[in-house]
Structure 1
């Protein structure tokens, strides 16, 4: 699961992050394999002026793949941090760019909701302090359901 609980004497903390399916080593392998597969047809054209024309499009394609994957990696650097203490629940959404979004509430009044009628399947929210905030926006429906059980248990105990 792309989240982990940690505990200190005064608080429990939950950190959530998007799936990290492509490691830096996997990125290098993918780009290398893509470059190799794209250059194989060029071997037959070596010595021909056409190779330069095709090489130009090969570089455009490889650059597009590179930029798409690095943009995805930047998006994966966002995370959510939930801190539970005796007198406060704090949720921080840390995007890859932009300001950190923070929500705070009294843990005795926080309600954990898992709805099927939300914008996504198994829509997981926390309600308290006159606001309702989404948590685990990048988790799968099964992971949100499991997190619902864990959050309910953590807030009760």
Structure 2
């Protein structure tokens, strides 16, 4: 399954195999979105190791002198601050949105750390996707409207990523809406 930790992903979202839950039928399609990670955890280990090694180079010149004890706290404070800042960035980037589509129902779920899970449901036949090139909080603001509400999708995606998602989303919703409108045989 594609996800936030996959290497080599070109976009921070993917159409995935629908996950089965015992209490409901399998969705027809499933979209998983996550924030872009410019520094994966494996890269963080190498980066932090190299930074720590380079940060200790100035200390080599003062080994054995009392100046070492004056500089050491600043080097350690810098490394500790860098570690804490990057770890904070990883925690705040654990947002995941999941759009699950059935012929008669669409469900958007947003999961964030230390916040309750937010859900929105509507009939895909009546859902209208919209791309707001300007006038939204960000360029290419992507929304879904239905069931009396308008919700944003992929707020953490870049402008170009929202535009690419916009090109993929309406055809999927249109096919589901058409399938829902067809009479059962």
TM-score range, shorter chain: over 0.9
User: For 1:102, what is the secondary structure of its paired residue?
Assistant: strand
- Give the number of the structure whose residues are more often strand, by fraction: 1
Residue equivalent to 1:108: 125
Match of 1:5 among 7, 10, 15: 15
Alpha-carbon distance between aligned partners in 2 of 1:118 and 1:31, rounded to the nearest angstrom = 37
Alpha-carbon distance between aligned partners in 2 of 1:27 and 1:154, rounded to the nearest angstrom = 37
CA RMSD in angstroms comes to 1.2
Matched, 1:52 2:69: yes
Deviations along 1:22-55, one digit per CA (max 9) or x if unpaired, are 2222111111111111111111111111111110
List aligned pairs for 1:138-153, cutoff 5 A: 138-153=156-171
Residue equivalent to 1:70: 87
Structure 1, unpaired ranges of 5+: none
Match of 1:34 among 24, 37, 51: 51
Alpha-carbon distance between aligned partners in 1 of 2:50 and 2:27, rounded to the nearest angstrom = 49
Deviation at 1:155, TM superposition (A): 0.3
The TM-score, its normalising length taken from structure 2, stands at 0.81
Structure 2, unpaired ranges of 5+: 1-10, 19-25, 176-185
CA contact (8 A) 2:27 2:100 kept: no
Moved over 3 A (4+): 7-10
Residue equivalent to 1:21: 38
Match of 1:126 among 112, 121, 144: 144
User: For 1:109, what is the secondary structure of its paired residue?
Assistant: coil
The TM-score, its normalising length taken from structure 1, stands at 0.95
User: For 2:136, what is the secondary structure of its paired residue?
Assistant: coil
